[in-house]
Amino acid sequence: MNRLLLLLLMLSGEAQAVFLTGNDLLLECEAGEGRGNLTFMPFGVCSGYIKSVTDTLQVLVESGELEPRFCLSTGITGVTGSQLKKTVFQYLKKHPTELHYAAAGLVLSALKENFPCAQHRPAGTP
């Protein structure tokens, strides 16, 4: 229960103390954009943060602490880390009025918008 409360506070746009905002994450992602060097620090911060939030959310879903909010395909044709980074990066650029919110919540919003579960997909989408 404490973990769920902590997650909800972390994902809340109304939280008072935020470790990383959307503005911060966007700067990290922009700094590494187009460099093609996976060891370049800002790219690693951006990609690592997004993967960490995604992994944390997935673990909470698998443990029953959180209802699924997005669905990533798995296996050989599954979603890659690079695809996650690009998806979140594009979401941040498309929603500049949300950048003052917690970055973790914005990652969740990007995943929900771009990787809906089958029961929540619009008719006619795969």
Residues 51-91: pLDDT tens digits?
999 999 999 989 999 899 999 876 556 788 889 999 999 99
Domains in the chain, CATH or no CATH each: 2-120 (1.10.890.40)
pLDDT of residue 38: 45
Of 120, 91, 104, the C-alpha closest to 52 is 104
Buried b (16+ CB within 10 A) or exposed e, 107-125: bbbbbbebbbeeeeeeeee
Percentage of the chain exceeding pLDDT 90: 47
Instruction: Specify the range with the lowest mean pLDDT, choosing from 77-86, 90-99, 100-109.
Output: 77-86
> And the tokens for 5?
């409360």
Q: What is the DSSP string of 113-126?
A: HHS--GGGSPTT--
Name residue 40's amino acid: F
